Amino acid sequence: MVYAVCCVPVSPLRSEPAHRSEQVSQLLFGERCKVLETGRDGWVRIVTLYDGYEGWCTLPQLTEIDMDDYLHAHADLSAEWAAELTYNGHPMHIPLGSSLTAVHNGRGAWRRNELRYSGQVWVSHAPEPKAIRHQAFLYLNTPYLWGGRSVFGIDCSGFTQGVFRFFGIDLPRDSSQQVSRGETVGFLQQAHTGDLAFFDNEEGRIVHVGILLGEHEIIHASGKVRVDRIDSQGIVNGETGQRTHQLRIIKRLF
């Protein structure tokens, strides 16, 4: 197997070929990858097509596709929080933002594997604040999960990456990489809904990111996807009143 696609709702991507290893990211259903190395006990090291992330996953959660499908297949994004499709005649629920790779008019095939999908697909359009806010709120109360990228569990940069993907803005996987994108907004008072706010630790390293909802609120994944207050110093937890993150920089992507 050289080219593959994720054939389960969510597949963990791990730092080492072991189930107890750190989850560094995830593949969502239909996302494509290239196999770089085959290890023991059904583990393979892959690189994802979408964001170029590398890690280990297990073969039963992948199925082989042709190079042409890997490189060129059309892939709508699922637009429902948890949509149902049939895979080889069996029902499966896939998370928001799954890739309907090589699916046309509700039907598709990955070699000998047949897909049927009758749910909603995302109709791509340019980003604007109201639409960004709406899409971000679909993830509200999703539990925080290190390495997560789905509505079943997500981390801070997986959340921002997932939201902006719907609007044709492809962000890197990690917050420390995402901060290099966009134009700097000088002051919080100049921020718009949809701007990204980045936060650093005591060593000055970017460790957190969220989506601003104007100049006073932010939606971000911390414990869960939540809305908190923000000021020029950083995030203030809306429930406890405690300051949780130190603001470093604001970036505008559109």
Q: Is there a catalytic annotation at residue 104?
A: no
183, β-bridge pairs: 252
Last residue of a domain, one of 122, 150, 167: 122
CATH number at residue 104: 2.30.30.40
CB 233, CB 245: distance < 8 Å: no
Residues of the chain above pLDDT 90, percent = 99
> Is the same domain home to 175 and 190?
yes
Q: Which of 6, 33, 57, 156 is catalytic?
A: 156
CATH number at residue 135: 3.90.1720.10
> Is the same domain home to 133 and 243?
yes
> Is the same domain home to 117 and 13?
yes
Any idea what DSSP says for residue 160?
Answer: H
Q: Which of 7, 57, 208, 245 is catalytic?
A: 208
Lookup: tokens for 133:
């806010």
Last residue of a domain, one of 74, 94, 122: 122
Q: Is there a catalytic annotation at residue 156?
A: yes
pTM, entire model: 0.96
Domain count, the chain: 2
> Is the same domain home to 101 and 200?
no
> Is the same domain home to 177 and 152?
yes
Per-residue pLDDT reduced to its tens digit, 60-119: 999 999 999 999 999 999 999 999 999 999 999 999 999 999 999 999 999 999 999 999
> Is the same domain home to 67 and 99?
yes
> Is the same domain home to 134 and 248?
yes
> Is the same domain home to 101 and 155?
no
Lookup: tokens for 55:
């890690």
> Is the same domain home to 176 and 223?
yes
> What's the rounded Cα separation, in Å, for the pair 206 and 209?
8
> Is the same domain home to 97 and 136?
no
Q: Exposure pattern of 143-178 as b/e (b: 16+ CB <10 Å)?
A: ebbebbbbbbbbbbbbbbbbbbbbbebebbbbbeeb
Domain residues for 81?
2-122
What pLDDT score does 213 carry? 98
Number of neighbours of residue 8 by Cβ within 10 angstroms = 18
Q: Is there a catalytic annotation at residue 90?
A: no
Per-residue pLDDT reduced to its tens digit, 16-46: 999 999 999 999 999 999 999 999 999 999 9
The enclosing H or E element of 161 equals helix 156-165
Last residue of a domain, one of 122, 152, 178: 122
List C-alpha distances in Å: 39 to 34, 44, 61: 14, 6, 15
Q: Which of 7, 33, 220, 245 is catalytic?
A: 220
> Is the same domain home to 90 and 147?
no
> Is the same domain home to 39 and 92?
yes
Per-residue pLDDT reduced to its tens digit, 122-157: 998 899 999 999 999 999 999 999 999 999 999 999
